[in-house]
Amino acid sequence: MDELIGLLASKAGIDRAVAEKTIGIILGFLRSEGPSGKVQMLIDGISGAEAAIAASNQSAGLARLMGGGLMAAGTRLMGLGLGMEQIQNIARELFRFGRDTIGAETMGEIIAETPGLSQFA
Is 121 contained in some domain?
A: no
Task: Say how far apart CA 102 and CA 99 lie, in whole Å.
Answer: 6
Give the 3-state DSSP-derived string for the chain, with helices as H, strands as E and coil as C: CHHHHHHHHHHHCCCHHHHHHHHHHHHHHHHHHCCHHHHHHHHHHCCCHHHHHHHHHHCCHHHHHHCCHHHHHHHHHHHCCCCHHHHHHHHHHHHHHHHHHHCHHHHHHHHHHCCCHHHHC
Is 42 contained in some domain?
A: yes
Q: What is the pTM of this model?
A: 0.90
Is 41 contained in some domain?
A: yes
Is 32 contained in some domain?
A: yes
Model pLDDT for residues 17-71, shown as the tens digit of each residue: 999 999 999 999 999 999 999 999 999 999 999 999 998 887 655 555 556 788 8
From residue 74, how far is each of 27, 64, 90 by CA, in Å? Answer: 13, 12, 12
Is 54 contained in some domain?
A: yes
Nearest-Å Rg of the Cα atoms of the chain is 13
Confidence (pLDDT) at 49:
95
Confidence (pLDDT) at 69:
83
Tally of structural domains, the chain: 1
CATH number where 62 lies: 1.10.490
* Domain extent at residue 6: 2-116
Is 14 contained in some domain?
A: yes
Task: Say how far apart CA 114 and CA 8 lie, in whole Å.
Answer: 21
Is 76 contained in some domain?
A: yes
Is 58 contained in some domain?
A: yes
